[in-house]
Chain A
Amino acid sequence: MRILVAEDDAISRALLGRTLQRAGYEVIAVEDGAKAIAELVKQDAPRLALLDWVMPEKDGVEVCREVRRRKEQAYKYLILLSSKESKGDIVTGLESGADDYLTKPFDADELKARLRSGHRILELEDHLVEARESMRFQATHDLLTSLWNRGVIVELISHEIMRSRRERSCIAVMMCDIDHFKSVNDECGHAVGDDVLREVARRLHNSVRSYDMVGRYGGEEFLVTLNKCNPESAVSRAENLRVKIAGCPIQTASKPVTVTISIGLALSTEFTQCTVEELMYQADMALYAAKAAGRNCVRVARPFGVSKPVEEQPKETPVLAP
Chain B
Amino acid sequence: MRKQPMETAAEKPRQFEWDLKELMERLGGDQELFHDLLVMFRGDVQMNLQKSHTAIGKGDYEELSRTAHTIKGMLRNLSMGAAAEIAAALEQASWGSLQMESKELLEALTKELEGILPEVEAQLAEVKP
Contacts and interface: CB of A to CB of B under 8 A. Distances in A.
Interface of A: 8-12, 14-15, 18, 22, 54, 83, 104-105, 107-108
Given A11-B40, A14-B37, A105 B76 contact: yes
Interface stretch (B26-34, B49-57, B112-120): B26-34
A104 B28 contact: no
A10 B40 contact: yes
15 contacts: A9-B44, A9-B73, A11-B73, A11-B74, A14-B36, A14-B37, A15-B26, A15-B77, A54-B66, A54-B69, A83-B69, A83-B72, A83-B76, A105-B26, A105-B77
Interface residues of B, number: 21
A178 B121 CA distance: 87
A60 to B, nearest CB: 13
Contacts of B33: 14-15, 18
B30 A11 contact: no
A11 B69 contact: no
Contacts of B74: 9, 11-12
Nearest to B91: A83
Interface of B (DSSP majority class): helix
Contacts of B27: 15, 18
A107 B36 CA distance: 19
A62 to B, nearest CB: 16
A11 B28 contact: no
A18 B72 CA distance: 21
A211 B28 CA distance: 58
Contacts of A12: 73-74, 77
B77 A104 contact: yes
B41 A11 contact: yes
Given A9-B74, A15-B26, 20 more contacts: A8-B70, A9-B44, A9-B73, A9-B77, A10-B44, A11-B73, A14-B33, A14-B37, A14-B40, A15-B27, A15-B33, A18-B27, A18-B30, A22-B28, A54-B66, A54-B69, A83-B69, A83-B76, A83-B88, A105-B77
A107 B76 CA distance: 12
B78 interface: yes
Nearest to B73: A9
A104 B76 contact: yes
Contacts of A54: 66, 69
B79 to A, nearest CB: 8
Given A104-B77, A105-B77, A108-B26, A11 B44 contact: yes
A10 B69 CA distance: 14
A14 B44 CA distance: 13
Nearest to A52: B73
B73 A83 contact: yes
Contacts of A22: 28
Contacts of A83: 69, 72-73, 76, 88
B77 A108 contact: no
B80 to A, nearest CB: 10
Contacts of A108: 26, 28
Nearest to A16: B77
